[in-house]
Structure 1
């Protein structure tokens, strides 16, 4: 059975440029924040499919009780890494998104969460974190992601609903992507691009890994 890994991405309404090649990247600006580049593969009114190249993350595993609390706990550890708690005392610039993967509970155990910081592309071999932070380097291979946008804050109360909305859209238009899915217990993630102090102009996205999507450039 093909596994679908769901990613819920909360993205800032940042300016991006769609070049003639279909490649997307942040617009050059004095205070631009680096994000993973992608290529637009397929577009519908309520979702799109993007091809992301290899991405590196520094990750913090949290055994928490909610998405919001676990994101705060995990990012606190990542924040220390960004501000020098690593072997070389390197200080990193902030990037986006901050991604929180939700691993549903099983057999009565509480859910787990993985909070991730996107590493700038210049750091091919980032310095190891301080041992007490208990962080892990994750490297994702290139893959396609289905994306659904929504506004406001990503909260414990609404991310599941938005994830279900993307699943429904894919089931109606791209049924082959959803073949083999028999339950709703997907791993999914919340990627946040806005600080909580910015209540307006927020743009959120639900991401779903659809690497099996039959489109040019998408890994099978």
Structure 2
């Protein structure tokens, strides 16, 4: 995940202080991983736990996604996050307001830090049966099938250099174990708002082949 700009802390500043008075459509009872805390997050099955990473199979999921212009100041991150936040706050065809979920997912080609193919996504919980159409043409809905993913988790306030370091460790482990993965892009996943000081959870992903 070479030079991955995944400064999710900057983007998640928007989350703190954003309130929603809409009906809670995420109130269905279910057991989710502890690192999701009070947020809804995608469900998965743990296939195998290695020393430094996990192999997970994620259920089919829905996401809202927008393009991400990568830059060294994080301006593109903030703009993409705001577009997605507007969508879940009711700027969609149904005026539907949805609670914030985790993770905030950033997908970036490994080869180019300033690639125009980078994206940012919000997870849409299953309680939303039909995804409203985005009003902003820069946002689109993704319906992902079941996916197989190698995941390395780590804690702390994660900056760009931290995601790069952890992604490199994951790649080294996958190659040492001769596990096939999609090397064309990597994914960073952030789970916490800036005012969560302890037990922070961050992940880097590579798709298993």
Q: Shorter chain as normaliser: what TM range?
A: 0.7 to 0.9
5 Å matches for 1:97-116?
97-104=103-110, 110-112=114-116, 113-116=118-121
3-state SS, counterpart of residue 157 of structure 2: coil
Equivalent residue for 1:144?
148
Distance 1:70 1:203, change over 3 A: same
Equivalent residue for 1:204?
202
Distance 2:161 2:73 in 1: 10
Alpha-carbon deviation of 1:104? Answer: 4.5
5 Å matches for 1:1-220?
25-26=32-33, 32-66=38-72, 68-104=74-110, 110-112=114-116, 113-131=118-136, 134-173=138-177, 175-177=178-180, 186-210=184-208, 212=209
Alpha-carbon deviation of 1:122? Answer: 2.0
Which is strand-richer, 1 or 2?
A: 1
Alpha-carbon deviation of 1:116? Answer: 0.3
CA RMSD of aligned residues (A): 2.6
Q: Which runs of 5+ in 1 are unaligned?
A: 1-5, 11-23, 213-220
Q: Which runs of 5+ in 2 are unaligned?
A: 9-30
Distance 1:191 1:176 in 2: 21
Q: How many equivalent pairs are there?
A: 179
3-state SS, counterpart of residue 25 of structure 1: coil
Q: Which has the larger radius of gyration?
A: 1
Distance 1:139 1:119 in 2: 10
TM-score when normalising by structure 2: 0.76
- Consecutive aligned runs of 4 or more in structure 1 exceeding 6 Å deviation: none
3-state SS, counterpart of residue 83 of structure 2: helix
